[in-house]
Amino acid sequence: MPPSSPPPKSVLGRHRLLAPSELVRVSPLSTGFMPQGAACVPSFRVGSFDYIEPHTAMEPDDSAPFMYLILSLTSAFGLCAARKASFRNEAFAESPKPCGGPGGRGGPGGRMGFHTLRLESSQQVNDNTKRLRFQLPDPASNAGLSLASFVLTFHKPKDAWFPVIRPYTPINNFDDPGYIELLVKKYPNGRASGYLHSLQPGDELNIRGPMRGYKWKTNEFEHVNLIAGGAGITPMYQLIQGMLNNPEDRSKIKLIFGVNTDNDLVMKEELDTFEKKFPDRLKVVYRVSDPVEGSPFTKGRVTKELLEKELLGPKDSKATKVFLCGPPAMEAAIFGTKGWISSQKGVLEELGYATDRVHKF
């Protein structure tokens, strides 16, 4: 956008980032704070959540409506301190795994905005993924998005007690006004993904947001390492395009992207374009677990040896940061696990990366 042009106004508002361990209040009508079938099962104490394996996860079982009823009744008394809700749910490639509370204040009266957006176009990316572009109410406005932000989508199926809520990471260039784009992977029996895939141009979608998953500061880190596993590419791509499209940003970026098959390498064309345009700032490393015969990609997984070889910057420096988003088995292996009974060290800790050097979306 030319310097002389006024910045596009936001239509989705601004929000305060919740602090770790901060509790949030939820009204009985705002069960969207606990996304049914989201890519994480969020705790209402900010900073605690689990991630569901994208290629094995399923939709919530029949206990989900009961869980929502309990949540609504509890929230009626202003209580929101459940440690971890436990039910099966659907994960999806679009999610940044947000925490289970509001991203903060924004819009009239300090409330986050609800908006109805019209689908402008639908592009088939591969056999199970679509790129959906939604028009904003004002074509001269943007969505008020910032790096590491997301929106919630919701709809109410006829047979459901409550709306189906999902978080999605917009992948469009924030400087382009008038629309947002979502990358939606369809899962078997997926209520949200199936609904979004059924939308035709002209159909409408209800959203809430934006919300912020991480408080990004330009040039806070000299070396930014992004580790994505299949479903975790969209928040990483959002960071990449935001950093590289910012002329003031000087950070060097290394993306390590692991998937199951060649077909799962969504956003590769866009990544190739950025890598060619910014060869001194962006490097992408691919690993494919089950490549096709003659595949140009290296067969393998994201391992300790790969990370030790590829990660940028000194591991003990505050100028180095690692962002992680992927299926649960991958995250457990790389980040480690911490539980009531037992804990397990992750690869990054074994390599000497302190916990505060790693952010898990």
CB atoms within 10 A of CB 189: 9
> What is the total residue count of the chain?
361
- Report the Cα–Cα distance between both ends of the chain, in Å, rounded: 30
313: left (phi over 0), alpha (psi -120 to 50) or beta: left
Is the distance from CB of 51 to CB of 331 less than 8 angstroms?
yes
List Cα–Cα distances, 172 to 152, 163, 242, 257, in angstroms: 16, 26, 9, 20
- Per the structure block, which two tokens stand in for 42? 């969020």
Binding-site residue numbers are 166-168, 183, 185, 193, 234
User: Binding-site residues for FAD, please?
Assistant: 166-168, 183, 185, 193, 234
> In this structure, what DSSP letter does residue 21 have?
T
Quickly count: other Cβ atoms within 10 Å of residue 2's Cβ. Answer: 4
CA of 73: how far to CAs of 24, 34, 44, 45, 77, in Å?
A: 15, 14, 15, 18, 7
Question: Which of 120-144 are b and which e, b meaning 16 or more Cβ less than 10 Å from the residue's Cβ?
Answer: eebeebeebbbbbbbbbeeeebbbb
Q: How far is CA 270 from CA 22, 223, 238, 265, in A?
A: 37, 21, 11, 11
- Eight-state DSSP code of residue 336: E
